[in-house]
């Protein structure tokens, strides 16, 4: 195994997905493998699923994992859509011990941001870029001059209707409330316009599951900022988690 191959894992609300990544090319080296997220998504069960993924690929090298949480120095600080038992746990230490491999943890949206800025829709964009990942929750990524402001958590801002953005416009809300795409698109438009008003980004990138079907809601969006879909689609989280691990291992310039 070379220096640049790292197993990327994306811990999502409904699935935990992984694949070995060539971090130099930003490409998966094997087809991604997905295991449904255990319920409850507590420490024991999720650690077990992560070990299963590592075994599935017979992986013996470094691992990068995107968590749907604020992550500071490997410690999980929030748990909006996962079991609360994770809060305060140093997942990086815990999973390194459990797997016997060097494990690095990063916020899932920040991971997707690294990947899109290096290999995807944000390549060569130097100004303020916002990436919004839409799935079970809403994740956000803020880049300025190609530098990440980590853990921005803009899915938790309150809109002028008094509702938290994630509870109003996440894809999971569209599904539970049985909304059609036009109705959901109007909600998403309201959220994007709020972000536009606050940050004046040069570009907004849309990631997560909804980036695969833009034609369904793009007609409902009316916003004065360039919008692009994430190029790496759902693989951005996996690729970015591996990139974050590579960064932590200081293999950036090899
Ligand atoms: C979490 C974020 C995460 C996002 C997407 C939110 O509920 O607070 O940390 O990035 O969901 O998974």
247 domain-assigned: yes
219 and 248 assigned to the same domain:
no
Identify whether residues 65 and 105 lie together within a single domain: yes
Q: Where does the pLDDT of residue 3 fall: very low under 50, low under 70, confident under 90, or very high at 90 and above?
A: confident
For residues 228 and 32, give the distance between their C-alpha atoms in angstroms, rounded to a whole number: 24
Which of 108, 114, 135, 234 to probe ligand 1 with, by most ligand atoms within 8 A of CB? 108
**Residue 117 falls inside a structural domain:** no
151 found inside a domain: yes
Residues 52 and 35 sit within 8 Å (Cβ to Cβ): yes
pLDDT at 253: 54
pLDDT tens digits, residue range 83-129? Answer: 999 999 999 999 999 999 999 999 999 999 999 999 999 999 999 99
Question: Within this chain, do residues 61 and 12 fall inside the same structural domain, yes or no?
Answer: yes
Same domain? 238 vs 210: no
CATH of the domain at 242: 3.30.420.40
Q: Confidence band (pLDDT; 50, 70, 90) for 57?
A: very high
Statement to judge: residues 144 and 106 lie in one domain: no
Q: What is the pLDDT of residue 250?
A: 84
Determine the distance separating the centroid of ligand 1 and the alpha carbon of 66, expressed in angstroms: 10
Could you tell me the residue range of the domain that residue 178 belongs to? 124-230
The reply to whether 116 falls in a domain is: no
Domain count of the fold of the chain = 2
Q: Is 119 part of any domain?
A: no
> How would residue 221 be classed by pLDDT, with cut points 50, 70 and 90?
very high
b/e burial code for range 141-152 (CB count within 10 A of at least 16 → b): bbbeeeebeebb
Is pLDDT at 13 greater than 70 in this prediction? yes
Which distant-in-sequence residues (6+ apart) come within 8 Å of 254 by Cβ?
A: 3, 4
């Amino acid at each position: 195994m070379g220096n640049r191959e790292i197993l990327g894992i994306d811990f999502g609300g409904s699935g935990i997905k992984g694949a070995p990544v060539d971090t130099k090319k930003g490409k998966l080296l094997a087809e991604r493998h997905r295991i449904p997220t255990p319920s409850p998504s507590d420490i024991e069960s999720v650690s077990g699923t992560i070990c299963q993924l590592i075994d599935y690929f017979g992986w013996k090298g470094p691992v990068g994992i995107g968590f749907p949480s604020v992550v500071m120095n490997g410690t999980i600080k929030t748990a909006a859509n996962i079991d609360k038992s994770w809060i305060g746990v140093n997942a990086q230490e815990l999973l390194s011990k459990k797997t016997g491999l060097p494990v690095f943890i990063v916020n899932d949206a920040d991971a997707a941001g690294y990947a899109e800025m290096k290999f995807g829709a944000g390549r060569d964009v130097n100004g303020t870029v916002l990436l919004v990942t839409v799935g079970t929750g809403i994740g956000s990524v803020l880049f300025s001059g190609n530098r990440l402001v980590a853990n921005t958590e803009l899915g938790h801002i309150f809109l002028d209707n008094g509702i938290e953005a994630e509870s109003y416009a996440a894809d999971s809300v569209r599904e539970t409330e049985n909304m059609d795409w036009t109705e959901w698109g109007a909600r998403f438009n309201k959220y994007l316009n709020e972000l536009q008003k606050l940050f004046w980004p040069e570009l907004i990138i849309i990631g997560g599951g909804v980036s695969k079907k833009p034609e369904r809601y793009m007609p409902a969006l009316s916003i004065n900022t360039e919008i692009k879909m994430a190029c790496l689609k759902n693989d951005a989280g996996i690729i970015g988690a591996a990139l974050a691990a590579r960064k932590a291992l200081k293999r950036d310039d090899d």
